[in-house]
Amino acid sequence: MIRLTSIYHMAEAANWPAIQRDGLHSASTLLDFAGILGKDRERLEKHQRLTHTELPNGIQIRDQRPMPAAALANCLIGITPSEWYTLINAHIFFWLDPTRLNRHRAACGARPQVVLTVDASKLVAAYAEKIAITPINTGNARRRPARRGAATFVPYTTWVTSAWTSEAASLGTPVRPSSHHPVELTVVGSIPDIMQFVVGVQQLAPGQLFTPVSP
């Protein structure tokens, strides 16, 4: 079984003071905090966000341009694009590979970012029941996207014992080898005490890429 060590979360630099004060939260939870309801809530949570959005309380949430509904319709199994957006918005995402994080950083353009390096073992010990592991970049549905569905989010406790077999059984796809590296670690809802697990913080100026620091 692949051992998780450091994981990485990239956030808008504008959100950094709130993260230090209130922790990390999924997009849906941030909409709760901002009091977004009705049609505005449905537009931001259940449909593709085409633009970067600042909420009334000043918190920023990113666009979802790499997930057009038409592309999702061709790769989703057992779930609609609207349900997929809702599922994505319910999770907090961590990258396992700094190279993938930097691709994401490049997509954020000139906006300053902050990268949190997190001790995966400590986070898992505290939040195992809320953690899932994914074998793909769930936020991208372009360029021959992998088949996906709710089972793409493999509960951590399941992944530890049976790797990717539950994904294959639910989606009817070939079983990935146990050596297949996870791409994302996700947590449902909120991590209000995230700073307890942070072992490094790197502020990224416009255009700057993340450089992991060796322990």
Q: List, for residues 124-169, the tens digit of each pLDDT value.
A: 999 999 999 999 999 999 988 999 999 999 999 999 999 999 999 9
Q: List, for residues 161-190, the tens digit of each pLDDT value.
A: 999 999 999 999 999 999 999 999 999 999
Nearest to 152 by CA among 135, 140, 169, 128: 135
Q: What is the pLDDT, as a whole number, of residue 213?
A: 79
Q: How far apart are CA 35 and CA 21, in angstroms?
A: 19
Per-residue pLDDT band for 207 (boundaries 50, 70, 90) equals confident
Q: How long, in residues, is the chain?
A: 215
- CA distance between the termini of the chain: 22
| Inter-CA distances, 79 with 72, 73, 136, Å | 10, 9, 17
pTM greater than the 0.85 cutoff: yes
What stretches of 19-87 adopt beta strand conformation (E)? 24-25, 53-54, 60-61
Q: How far is CA 156 from the centre of its chain?
A: 15
| Inter-CA distances, 12 with 9, 95, 120, 185, Å | 10, 15, 21, 19
Q: What is the pLDDT, as a whole number, of residue 69?
A: 97
Going 171 to 151 to 67 to 134, the CA torsion angle's sign is negative
CB-count exposure of residue 163 (10 Å: 0-12, 13-18, 19+): buried
Q: List, for residues 27-70, the tens digit of each pLDDT value.
A: 999 999 999 999 999 999 999 999 999 999 999 999 999 999 99
Q: What is the pLDDT, as a whole number, of residue 120?
A: 96
Q: List, for residues 60-116, the tens digit of each pLDDT value.
A: 999 999 999 999 999 999 999 999 999 999 999 999 999 999 999 998 888 999 999
Query: How many CA atoms lie within 13 Å of 76's alpha carbon, on the beta-carbon side?
Result: 20
- Greatest Cα pair distance in the chain: 47
Q: What is the pLDDT, as a whole number, of residue 3?
A: 75
CB 115 within 8 A of CB 210: yes
Per-residue pLDDT band for 2 (boundaries 50, 70, 90) equals low
